[in-house]
Structure 1
Amino acid sequence: MSSWVGHAVWWHVYPLGFGRLDKIAGWLDYEVELGANGLQLGPLFASETHGYDTIDHFRVDPRLGDDADFDALIAAARQRGVRVLLDGVFNHVGRGFQAPAHWFTGGSFEGHDSLRELDHTQPEVLDHVVRVMDHWLSRGADGWRLDAAYAVDPKFWKAALDRVRPLHPDAWFVGEVIHGDYAAVLRDSGLDAITQYELWKAIWSSLNDGNFYELAHALQRHGELLPAGLPMTFLGNHDVTRIASKLDDPRHLGHAVAILCTVAGVPSIYYGDEQAFRGVKEEREGGDDEIRPAFPGSPSELSPLGWPTYRLHERLIGLRRRHPEITYAVTTATHLTNTAAAFTSGPVTLLLNVADSDYRFPDVPPEAQVLESSSPVSGDPAVVPAHGWSVVTR
């Protein structure tokens, strides 16, 4: 794994929600102030509608700009020390994608008639994917998120990466894997990372149900995964209902962000989540529109209601950066009830309370230092208010 990945925090944007690449470049200072140093771009290439129906992997979508705009975005990111991750949609393509018939399986992807599945047993398909990866890495990208990696035989990714890595040894490759044996996928595919959907689900589900045992179990499995590869952790992305809408109680949004920022992995923050955007994914045509909204022209046009959540992210990302050991630390549950939990990750302990009354955590000494919390610090670091959280260290 590239050494820079352990310091990465991604800000994940859906480019078509910005309209132009130069508009995205105008948000880089906002991203850096947030504490992120990686720009994770959704689909960038010429497509028929939503970006995941690619028709030309070598051309920037005309709605976003052209090669010069891409180069300018890379240069602007470089000036700020920001890495750039591209979205590789290599499992399927749009109906207008021009290729010989034997490149396709004849089926559509997950019932979407507009998406044709590529036949990954064909050497020409492998050659094409290698050329695309190499082309954009050579133009300045730092890595690839491989869309629907779960739908492709891991041996295909292994064959592709065996050819791309020698050309770009510092690049990072993360596969979209929703369920299954994450460690086995990493081993067989040669990928550096997978998307940690199991932990994502446990975060919002445990908060909604008042069941921290679920989160503790997921974090145990998360820790067991770490030797295989540092996963991409997240609270939201372009495919799921936003965390602010997913949580039943808005008081628990801070809990979710605190979990993300105090457990191992490479965090990814979906644009707008840092402003507490709401949005529900629906299983229908156009059902993703609400979670892939247009962003305004500049940060000054954002609603003032979202800035407290932005500042919360800023504080917690800052805490993570001051304690870089968290990135690789195995999290252990040091105290656990249904509605109160203490999770220790390296030098920090996250105290969570979703009950209607204050909770006193045993084993938190009076001299413990409160690094961050949901409310002004009281005199006793062991006490967390109702529906509150805090991060402490000894």
Structure 2
Amino acid sequence: MTSWSDHAIWWHVYPLGFTGAPPTATPGEAPVPHRLRRLESWLDYAVDLGCSGLQLGPIFASETHGYDTVDHFRVDPRLGDDDDFDHLVAQARRRGLRVLLDGVFNHVGRGFPMFTRALAEGPGSPAARWFRPGDGAGGFAVFEGHDHLVALNHAEPAVLDHVVRVMGHWLGRGASGWRLDAAYAVPRAFWREAVTRVRREHPDAWFAGEVIHGDYAAYVTEGGLDSVTQYELWKAIWSSLNDGNFFELAWALDRHNGLLEVFAPMTFVGNHDVTRLASRLADPRHLGHALAVLMTVGGVPSLYYGDEQAFLGVKEERAGGDDAIRPAFPDGPDDLASHGMPVYRLHQRLAGLRRRHPWLVRARTEAEHVANRALALRSRAGTGEVVTLLNIGDDAYRFPVDVSKLTVAESCAGAGGPDEDPALVPAHGWRVLVPGP
């Protein structure tokens, strides 16, 4: 059955960074700054880019970076208040943009009221049952060594009830779905029960779990989710380009086809947790190759804000190491530097191609020709067909594949002419071919 998510292309924004919010919350700060409303001036930009949804990073009250939540029912005061959220959702909906929220339900910040109670009332108290026992402060477990992130106890019914209430509350206010942070750290049975209960009131909601390693399909089928993040494909895209080894990408796409038998993965070449694509690639000429793959294989694509302007940023494993990949944006699109516009136009063109071929969300992709530095991909679903040719060699490359009924829809140089040989790709070039005269 077709869902609205089959047509989704997300523009992923990390609001605390995007709006220039201070890195640490100040309890009781007044007046509320209403920074969330700054996103309104970027909604048309997202639509023009070709996106149909706004994927928001954490927006709920937290202590620092948003993943240390202290109140799931309150907009972070550094961003604004409920009226600001309602206004943003209404303005997004006016433009046909869905809103996806970031749900941090594996852990909370140490200022979470129930955790404060647990410390005060002791390990045998009802409040303490909300949290996993462990070696952290107070005898509670923390998330992956981060002492300020206290792990919730997903075997406790009150925690399940809380998560269900939170998700239903914000879906009722206009959100269309949830990205579930650190979904891999939560028992799949918990997700299944939570999602099943939420769907009773919100049957069209979409749930995508953050899963880095492991059995992606099992997280979907056993957890009742719609999708998970496709980190395996993300890694194969940039490393195959850097290493001159398209065999890695071909292998990853074969595994990707297997996932598509079960669900449509959430695909990306950048997000709030990884070094930006323009910094990751060894050769900047290959950014278009990465984007062409993203937009012509199965899945639900997400574009991370700033990548469409070729922003640079390296993630570092230290305090504040995410700051470079979560920068502030200016007040409006007119304030962006002009040198990023060619990359924006490239994203625009390939997003447009994707929207003209919405069947690609569930397409299977076959590597018809693989060499270290040349790759021909043919994506099909039903009667639809798209061929993507990638050449990262220093010489032009004629692909030995059948393109007799295809024409150049997009390429590193734009759309092709009628007399152009579609199988001949220039050095460090790429092409996307579609059926045509």
Q: When the two structures are superposed, what TM-score results if normalisation uses the length of structure 2?
A: 0.89
Q: Give the Å deviation of 1:107.
A: 1.1
* CA–CA distance in structure 2, aligned partners of residues 159 and 292 of structure 1: 33
**Could you tell me how far apart the structure 2 residues matched to 1:33 and 1:386 are?**
30
User: Does the CA-based 8 Å contact 2:269-2:303 persist in structure 1?
Assistant: yes
Alignment correspondent of 1:17: 17
1:366 shift after superposition: 5.3
Does residue 8 of structure 1 match 2:8? Answer: yes
Contact in 1 for aligned 2:70/2:109 (Cα 8 Å): yes
Q: Percent identity?
A: 67
Match of 2:399 in 1: 361
> Could you list the runs of 5+ residues in structure 1 that have no partner in the other structure?
none
Tell whether 2:118 aligns with 1:77: no
Instruction: Give the Å deviation of 1:52.
Output: 0.5
The superposition leaves residues 15-46 of structure 1 with CA deviations (integer Å, 9 ceiling, x where unpaired) of 11233111011100000000001000000100
1:84-125: CA deviations, max 9, x gaps?
A: 000000001101001122211111111111111111110010
Give the AA of the match of 1:252: H
Q: What is the distance in 2 between the residues matched to 1:358 and 1:62?
A: 55
Q: Which amino acid aligns with 1:36?
A: C
Aligned partner of 1:291: which letter?
I
Contact 2:63 2:70 in 1 (8 A): yes
Amino acid at match of 1:131: R
Q: Deviations over 1:58-81 (max 9, x none)?
A: 000011110000000010011001
Contact 1:364 1:381 in 2 (8 A): no
Confirm or deny that 1:116 pairs with 2:150: yes
Q: Secondary structure at the match of 1:238?
A: coil
**46-55 or 356-365: which moved more?**
356-365
> Is 2:240 the partner of 1:206?
yes
Which whole-Å deviations, capped at 9, do the CAs of 1:249-299 have from their partners, x for residues lacking one? 000000001010000110000000000001000000110000000111111
Please give the secondary structure, in 1, of the residue aligned with 2:200. Answer: coil
- Structure-1 separation of matches of 2:317 and 2:250: 30
Question: What is the CA-CA distance between 1:367 and the residue it aligns to?
Answer: 5.4
The 5 A counterparts of 1:87-102 are 87-99=102-114, 100-102=127-129
Q: Find the counterpart in structure 1 of residue 227 from structure 2.
A: 193
Secondary structure of residue in 2 paired with 1:164: helix
Could you tell me how far apart the structure 2 residues matched to 1:6 and 1:58 are?
A: 29
Q: 1:86 aligns with which of 97, 101, 104?
A: 101
Instruction: State whether structure 2 residue 290 is matched by structure 1 residue 290.
Output: no
* Partner AA of 1:22 in structure 2: R
User: How far apart in 1 are the matches of 2:78 and 2:434?
Assistant: 49
**Structure 2 counterpart SS, 1:26:** helix
In 1, Cα distance between the equivalents of 2:332 and 2:172? Answer: 30
Given that 1:95 and 1:116 are in contact with CA atoms closer than 8 Å, whether structure 2 keeps it comes out as yes
- Structure-2 residue corresponding to 1:348: 386
| Deviation (angstroms), 1:7 | 0.4
Q: What is the deviation of 1:2?
A: 6.5
Which structure has the larger Rg?
A: 2
> Among 40, 46, 50, which residue is 1:31 paired with?
46
User: Any gaps of 5 or more consecutive residues in structure 2?
Assistant: 20-34, 115-126, 133-139
Question: Does the 8 Å contact 1:366/1:382 carry over to 2?
Answer: no
Structure 2 distance, partners of 1:47, 1:380, is: 56
Greater CA drift, 56-65 or 359-368: 359-368
Equivalent residues, number: 394
Alignment RMSD, CA only? 1.1
